[in-house]
Amino acid sequence: MKNTSKFQNVVIVTIVGWLVLFVFLPNLMIIGTSFLTRDDASFVKMVFTLDNYTRLLDPLYFEVLLHSLNMALIATLACLVLGYPFAWFLAKLPHKVRPLLLFLLIVPFWTNSLIRIYGLKIFLSTKGYLNEFLLWLGVIDTPIRIMFTPSAVIIGLVYILLPFMVMPLYSSIENWISRCLRRRAISVPASYRLLSVSLFH
């Protein structure tokens, strides 16, 4: 028991240390630098300024910011629409099948994001698999330009971020299902299979 507790403490300290070193401190440095004056010779001067933030109100930067937020909102909604049914389907599967699908969901994280983006670039190009498939279906007569458009950016964001939507939803749905099954098992004695059928049908 003590060994398990020590191991848990080591894991927690390691994770917290990693987050502090590679997430918290770099972001803190970026925030601190944003309040300094830009200098061509030394990159920044140790002179406090709010010009970098007031510049956000410039129409050019403000329009870019709104455009970015709009694309982020669309990508988030797309991840939710695609991720929720998949997470629900995953939670309904037998326990023997779930690990395989979870493994397939996590596998892309083992590949560098840059490589994944290049793969997506090939897939969405005018001579890529998507255009070839649409031509084969007869949906289009000539290849359509998808790359370097807002649609391509949203597709890329959804492709990269969808697992981050699925995993928390799957965990929450699975916990909710477990609680419902326990409550039904207490109130109405029945087999696990019968409870599962009554829960989802």
The string of pLDDT tens digits covering residues 12-35 is: 899 899 999 999 999 999 999 989
Instruction: Confirm if 148 and 120 have CB atoms less than 8 A apart.
Output: no
pTM of the model: 0.70
What is the per-residue pLDDT for 78?
96
194 in a structural domain: no
Same domain, 85 and 155: yes
Can you say how many angstroms the Cα of residue 118 is from the centroid of all Cα atoms in its chain?
18
Q: What is the pLDDT of residue 21?
A: 94
Rounded Cα distance, 201 and 192, in Å: 14
Q: Are residues 98 and 169 in the same domain?
A: yes
102 in the same domain as 53: no
* pLDDT-above-90 percentage for the chain: 30
Q: 88 and 179: one domain?
A: yes
Average pLDDT score over residue span 30-43: 84
User: Based on the domain organization, do 47 and 114 belong to the same domain?
Assistant: no
Task: Say if CB 81 and CB 165 are below 8 A apart.
Answer: no
Provide mean pLDDT across the span 159-186: 79
Rounded to an integer, the average pLDDT of 175-191 is 63
* Residue 153 confidence class, pLDDT cut points 50, 70, 90: very high
Residue recorded with tokens 């930067």: 61
Q: Which pLDDT band holds residue 191 (cuts at 50, 70, 90)?
A: low
Residues 124 and 33 in one domain: no
Q: Give mean pLDDT, residues 148-175.
A: 90
- Do residues 91 and 161 both lie within one domain? yes
State which of 33, 57, 81 marks the end of a domain: 57
Which contiguous run of DSSP H or E holds residue 43? strand 43-48
**Is the predicted pLDDT of residue 193 greater than 70, yes or no?**
no
Residue 114 lies in a domain: yes
Residue 168: closest CA among 80, 96, 107, 93:
80
Q: Is residue 62 part of a domain?
A: no
Q: Which domain holds residue 174?
A: 70-188
Question: Tell me, what amino acid is at 172?
Answer: S
Is residue 179 assigned to a domain? yes
Are 126 and 184 in a shared domain?
yes
User: What CATH number is attached to the domain comprising 103?
Assistant: 1.10.3720.10
For residues 99 and 184, membership in a common domain is answered with yes
User: Are 114 and 108 within 8 A, CB to CB?
Assistant: no
Q: Which two tokens stand for residue 149?
A: 């458009």
Residue 63 lies in a domain: no
- Residue 185 neighbours by CB under 8 Å, 6+ apart: 192, 195
Q: Domain tally for the chain?
A: 2
pLDDT tens digits for range 82-116: 999 999 888 888 888 888 888 888 888 888 888 88
Same domain, 80 and 151: yes
Local structure of 54: helix, strand or coil: helix
Domain end residue (candidates: 57, 78, 94): 57
- 58-84: burial string, b at 16+ Cβ within 10 Å, e else: eeeeeeeeeeeeeeeebbeebbeeebe
